[in-house]
Amino acid sequence: MARDASRVEAFSDAVIAIVLTLMAVELLQLGPRSERDLTEALAHEWPAYLAYVITFAIVGQVWLTHHNMWRYVVRVDQLLLVFNLLLLLFVAAIPFTADLLADNLRGSVTDQRLTAALYVGSVLGEALFFNLSWWWARRRRLLHPDLDPRLARAVALRFLVGPVLYLVAFAFVFVNPVLSLCLYLLLIGVYLVRGPGDLPSSAR
């Protein structure tokens, strides 16, 4: 029997909040200063700051998308719970891959590409399970019965854009790893533009 979705959303919010906290702890640590003054030491850590800003934007976008999607989910079944847990599995891995990426952004080309692949794997994984969750909720009629089918299809199409854009950004790692990272920020900006299924920009 399908059950109410409120507990799932509350649990997901808690996981994402913990991920953001762990990410800040992992990425915003100042390394050994040795002979450097504070200004030089801070400047030396720019890969960590870049990874933090981009990763915070990605996880923040995940939370926004999750919040908007689950406004329409009124019931859950076992498989939707599994899809949501797998989505959170990839979200929880993002701080680890972001930390690796920050540590190796000035390393060898091989290390840069490997860590970039792990990073895109985590963000691509969560995007794929967003798509699966929405597809399953539509298929099993777990969404609000008054939801316009045209809106449901528009949301599905928008979700499909995510994996494609992430793969495009990853392709640029073979040109320039920093450029590839900056493209993620651009892609997040695309998602911040109000689209199908998002909350209205002002109260009605």
pLDDT digits (tens, 9 = 90+) for 139-179: 999 999 998 999 899 889 888 888 888 888 778 877 777 77
Mention every residue, 6+ apart, whose C-beta is less than 8 A from residue 144.
72, 73, 74
Report which DSSP code applies to 198. Answer: P
Contact call for residues 138 and 87 (beta carbons, < 8 A)? no
Q: For residues 168-181, b (16+ Cβ closer than 10 Å) or e, as one string?
A: ebbebbeeebeebb
Q: Quick one: pLDDT at residue 2? A: 52
Average pLDDT over residues 6-17: 91
CA distance 153 to 29: 43
Report which DSSP code applies to 3. Answer: E
How much is the pTM? Answer: 0.84
Q: Is the model more confident about 175 or about 61?
A: 61
Structure tokens at 24: 């800040």
CA distance 197 to 108: 42
Contact call for residues 144 and 4 (beta carbons, < 8 A)? no
